[in-house]
């Protein structure tokens, strides 16, 4: 299945947001810096949580690590806003780029993975993990999947300029 995003790209190029991004030299580098900060907050905190579930730093309770999850949500929000600004600012470099398609797919799958974590009751099971306790197999699978997907998001984001000749 293929989506033709060119009409969306053509429309976005004519918006005032696109003009703002393109007519102010500071916007793109500011967004790049914020995107990096958001990535550090997101991956740093989600990664720590995933590694705890996989058995690293078992001396910490799950909830001791989970208390930082709001920082991960802040990082995701920063990346969502800056990512939208990148896309609106120059949609042509994204709509035909295979790396962008993979990045979006990995993000959607990561979101589905988070929903699985909460919808299956896995969160309730791991919330009770104390220091030294091992996570159940489903929690480990979800954590491993999370790490793989977020690494995929980061890799494809980094590959945007190199795959698809869009930049």
| Domain contains 165 | no
| Domain contains 114 | yes
| Domain contains 59 | yes
User: Do 81 and 147 contact (CB within 8 A), yes or no?
Assistant: no
Give the model confidence (pLDDT) of 98-137 as tens digits.
999 999 999 999 999 999 999 999 999 999 999 999 999 9
Q: What is the rounded average pLDDT for all residues in the chain? A: 93
Note down the domain range covering 108.
Answer: 6-159
- Return the structure tokens found at 166: 């869009």
Integer Cα distance of 9 and 90 in angstroms: 8
Integer Cα distance of 32 and 34 in angstroms: 6
| Domain contains 1 | no
**Predicted confidence (pLDDT) at residue 166 exceeds the cutoff of 90:** no
| Domain contains 164 | no
Q: Which of 92, 87, 118, 88 is nearest to 104 (CA)?
A: 87
Q: H helices of the chain, where?
A: 6-13, 16-23, 27-53, 62-66, 69-89, 92-95, 98-119, 122-127, 137-159
| Domain contains 167 | no
3-state SS, residue 135: coil
Total-model pTM: 0.90
Count of domains observed in the chain: 1
């Amino acid at each position: 299945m293929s989506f033709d995003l060119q009409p969306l790209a053509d429309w976005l190029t004519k918006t005032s947001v696109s003009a703002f991004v393109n007519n102010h030299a500071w916007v793109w580098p500011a967004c790049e810096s914020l995107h990096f900060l958001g990535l550090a907050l997101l991956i740093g905190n989600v990664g720590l949580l995933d590694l705890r579930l996989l058995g690293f730093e078992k001396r910490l309770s799950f909830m001791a690590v989970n208390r930082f999850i709001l920082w991960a949500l802040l990082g995701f929000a920063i990346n969502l806003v800056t990512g939208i600004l990148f896309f609106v600012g120059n949609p042509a470099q994204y709509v035909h780029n295979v790396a962008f398609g993979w990045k979006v797919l990995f993000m959607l799958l990561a979101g589905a993975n988070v929903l699985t974590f909460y919808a299956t009751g896995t969160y309730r099971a791991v919330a009770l993990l104390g220091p030294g306790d091992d996570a159940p197999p489903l929690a480990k699978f979800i954590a491993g999947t999370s790490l793989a997907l977020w690494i995929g998001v980061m890799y494809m984001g980094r590959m945007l300029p190199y795959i698809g000749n869009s930049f």
